């Protein structure tokens, strides 16, 4: 079934598709690292966008993955929910400035065995066929700061 994009999704339809590229990460508790990232934003004709991310390390082995949804509320606001196999879920509210989305966590929830994460910020921007995404966080006792950034090309 070829579903039309829901009207509420139209303002962020620039996200839809599969994006691939490279990123790098750093944090006070780890060594700096680089990765390859594939991100997919899909729609199912409803007022949300499904998000899937997978990264691979320099050796080609699987590194991180996460999935979630950007949800458009009835009053036109943006929310983002994400779950991670590290035992973490995030709930964000967001704002859109043209093709730049900024999300700030309102809730970060942890499974009993997960590492401590207190706050997460995410920025996704598309300019032409290039997507940049960045993640800031405060975790494991460290102050809120930049953790990850990637530059992706539409495939």
Instruction: By CB under 8 A, name the binding residues for its own copies.
Output: 1, 3, 44-46, 48, 50, 52, 54, 60-62, 65, 67-69, 71, 73-75, 77, 79, 81-91, 93, 106-107, 109-113
**Of 68 and 121, which has the nearer Cβ to its own copies?**
68
**Of 90 and 150, which has the nearer Cβ to its own copies?**
90
Cα(115)–Cα(36) distance, rounded to whole angstroms? 23
**Of 1 and 128, which has the nearer Cβ to its own copies?**
1
**Of 88 and 101, which has the nearer Cβ to its own copies?**
88
- Residue 16 DSSP label: -
Shortest approach of its own copies to residue 56 CB, angstroms? Answer: 9
User: Do residues 25 and 33 touch, judged by C-beta distance below 8 A?
Assistant: yes
CA–CA distances in Å: residue 73 to residues 19, 89, 93, 104: 25, 20, 10, 16
Shortest approach of its own copies to residue 55 CB, angstroms? Answer: 11
User: Do residues 69 and 41 touch, judged by C-beta distance below 8 A?
Assistant: no
């Amino acid at each position: 079934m070829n579903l039309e994009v829901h009207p509420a999704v139209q303002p962020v339809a620039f996200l839809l598709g599969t994006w691939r590229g490279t990123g790098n990460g750093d944090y006070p508790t780890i060594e700096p690292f680089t990765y390859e990232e594939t991100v997919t934003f899909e729609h199912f004709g409803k007022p949300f966008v499904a998000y899937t991310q997978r990264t691979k390390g320099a050796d080609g082995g699987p590194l991180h993955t996460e999935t979630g949804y950007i949800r458009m509320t009835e009053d036109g606001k943006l929310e983002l929910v994400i779950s991670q196999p590290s035992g973490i879920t995030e709930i964000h509210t967001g704002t859109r400035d043209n093709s730049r989305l900024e999300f700030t966590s309102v809730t970060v929830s942890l499974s009993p065995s997960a590492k401590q994460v207190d706050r997460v910020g995410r920025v996704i921007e598309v300019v032409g066929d290039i997507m940049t995404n960045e993640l800031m966080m405060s975790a494991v006792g460290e102050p809120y700061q930049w953790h990850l950034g990637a530059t992706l090309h539409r495939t």
